[in-house]
Amino acid sequence: MYVCMCYGVTDSQIREAVNTQGVGNLRELRAHLNVGSQCGKCIQMAQQVIDTTIIDDSLFKEVS
C-alpha cells in the first residue's frame, strides 16, 4: 500500500527502513525515503507505520 504518493513510498519500504536501517522516527525516515517532504499528507500514516513496526518488533523479541 502506498503511504506517500508524492514519492511513491509504500508501507513495506517504511517497515524495511525501520528494520534494516534503524529508522525510529519521521525525521530519520525523511532522510532515507523523502517521505513527507512534499505535501505532508502522508506524515500521520507514515508515523503509524513506524510505530506499529517498532511495537511488532518489541513484541516479537519478548516472545522469542
**Interface with ligand FES, residue 31, by CB under 6 A:** no
User: Contacts by 52-58 with C-beta closer than 8 Å and gap 24+?
Assistant: 53/14, 53/15, 53/18, 53/19, 54/18, 54/24, 57/18, 57/19
* Number of chain residues interacting with ligand FES (CB under 6 A): 11
DSSP 36: T
**Interface with ligand FES, residue 8, by CB under 6 A:** no
Closest approach of ligand FES to the CB of residue 54, in Å: 20
Q: Which of 5, 31, 55, 59 binds ligand FES (CB under 6 A)?
A: 5
